[in-house]
Each structure stands twice: as structure tokens, then as C-alpha cells.
Amino acid sequence: MMVYLTRRYRFSAAHRLHNDSLSPAENARIYGKCNNPFGHGHNYVLDVTVAGEVDAATGMVCDLGVLDGAVQREVLDRFDETHLNLDGESFRTRVPTAENICFEIFDLLRAPLAGAGPGGNTRLERVRLEETNSNFFEYYGGGGPRSAASQVR
């Protein structure tokens, strides 16, 4: 029987929505106030969903310690209290839209969560990122890692 487990995390980060290949006027038109040269911040809410069969011995689909550890190492330690454009490599050449942040988080967690359940059959199912009270984004993986070429630059 397939069960889905969703765990919620929080992190704060700043970013600037800006594409160097566009003119200043185009960036201002497309990104509006989010193109502020100094950036702006969000208190993100991240939901990570894993799926798998319930292990007969433990009654669990995933060890929460394994899930929490993977999210801490791969996402929170990397993005919390940072400026996404400046403080890491993930968004130096890619616009840090919430859509692209979802793709990146999914790719970062895919391998560490593969087989993370007691029965070894757990997989990452979904990443949901809430940027504001009005905006949230979900990514289900699309069957394979996203190539950098297919993402907004």
C-alpha cells in the first residue's frame, strides 16, 4: 500500500530576480519590484513529500530522522539566511524564481531520499515551496533530473 508522507520546513533567504541577458528595462518590466538591485527576502515554507510502501516491521514509510537530516544538509544548510544570487553556486547564473528554487530543491533531495524508508523503497514525490501567503509552487519531478538548459536562466 503506497503512503505519502509530507514534512514541513522553514527557511529565510533573499534574492533578486534578474536576467543578465535582458536589458534593464526588460528586467524591470518582467520582474517589477523583485528586480530591486539590493534584493528582497522571503520566509519560505517548504513541504517535502516522500512516497513508499509501509514497512511491515516498523509501520513507517520513511524514517523521519533520515528525511530531516537530508533536508537539513541539502537545503536548509545551503539556503537558510543567504542571498541566493550571491552566497552559493546554485543561482549564480540562474534566476532564483520560486519555480527554479523548487527544481533545485527537488534535484538536491532526489538521491539522498531514494530508498530512505525502512523497506528501502521510498522516493521523493513532491516539493512544495510557499514564497508568500498568496504564492506557492509545486514540483513533482517530471520523471528525471531537470537539466540546467531547460530552466529559466
| pLDDT of amino acid 1 | 77
The pLDDT value given to residue 143 = 55
Long-range contacts of 128-133 (CB under 8 A, 24+ apart): 128/6, 128/46, 128/47, 128/49, 128/102, 129/44, 129/45, 129/46, 129/47, 129/98, 129/101, 129/102, 129/105, 130/44, 130/45, 130/46, 130/47, 131/42, 131/44, 131/98, 132/42
pLDDT of the residue at 42: 97
Cell of 65: 530522522
Q: Which CATH class is domain 2-83+93-150?
A: alpha beta
Domain ranges of the chain: 2-83+93-150
> Helix, strand, or coil here: 36?
coil
Task: Tell me the C-alpha distance between 123 and 41, whole Å.
Answer: 31
Q: Cell 523503497 belongs to which residue?
A: 121
Contact predicate 123/86, CB 8 Å: no
* Residuewise pLDDT in 10s, the chain (153 residues): 789 999 999 999 999 999 999 999 999 999 999 999 999 999 999 999 999 999 999 999 999 999 999 999 999 999 999 999 999 999 999 999 999 999 999 999 999 999 888 878 899 999 999 999 999 999 998 654 444 444 444
